[in-house]
Amino acid sequence: MLLLPNTGIANPLIIAHTQEDPMQSFIHAGGPFMYPILLLAIIAAVLFVWRVAQAFRGDKTSLPTALQARTVLHLGVCALVIGIVAQLTGLYRAATAVLEATEISPVILARGIQVSFNTTLLGMYVLVICMLLWLILRAVLAHRSAAV
């Protein structure tokens, strides 16, 4: 804990900057595969907003089709697949390291297995959000096509 000079009081500003955000540490611990998963989530969100805006413009020729709406869902599935591949890659690398090590702490091994789930969890979260966005987009498209 960092104290203010000559006071013995903790400096809350310094403490706030030295502690890492839980989400940031979750993403950082997951490794480089976390960023493509996040990129897919951002692309899906932007695509969702664009498709909904396109549907509400009312132009019959620019109405997105159901096939185009499924792209949001497919991006979520891709995020999950990347998460699973990343986890399997991490577990394989960890198993290789365990085989080469002479002694390994059970705590370190358990922590490694726990961290390997970060990419799969993030991929699953992205898939669930994409499924919800897809359901909303499908309902909006059905409502707008019935109105046109």
Q: Give the separation between CA 33 and CA 40, rounded to whole angstroms.
A: 11
Mean pLDDT for 92-110 is 86
Whether 47 is covered by a domain: the verdict is: yes
Q: Give the separation between CA 10 and CA 7, rounded to whole angstroms.
A: 9
Q: Please tell me which of 64-78, 99-113, 130-144 the model is most confident about, judged by mean pLDDT.
A: 130-144
Q: Please give the residue range of the domain that contains residue 54.
A: 22-147
Q: What is the pLDDT of residue 74?
A: 95
Q: Give the separation between CA 107 and CA 70, rounded to whole angstroms.
A: 43
- Nearest Cα to 68, choosing from 55, 82, 87, 84? 55
DSSP state of 60: G
Mean pLDDT for 70-93 is 94
Report whether pLDDT(82) > 90.
yes
Confidence of residue 23 (pLDDT cuts 50, 70, 90): confident
Whether 112 is covered by a domain: the verdict is: yes
Whether 51 is covered by a domain: the verdict is: yes
What's the structural domain count of the chain? 1
Q: Give the separation between CA 79 and CA 132, rounded to whole angstroms.
A: 15
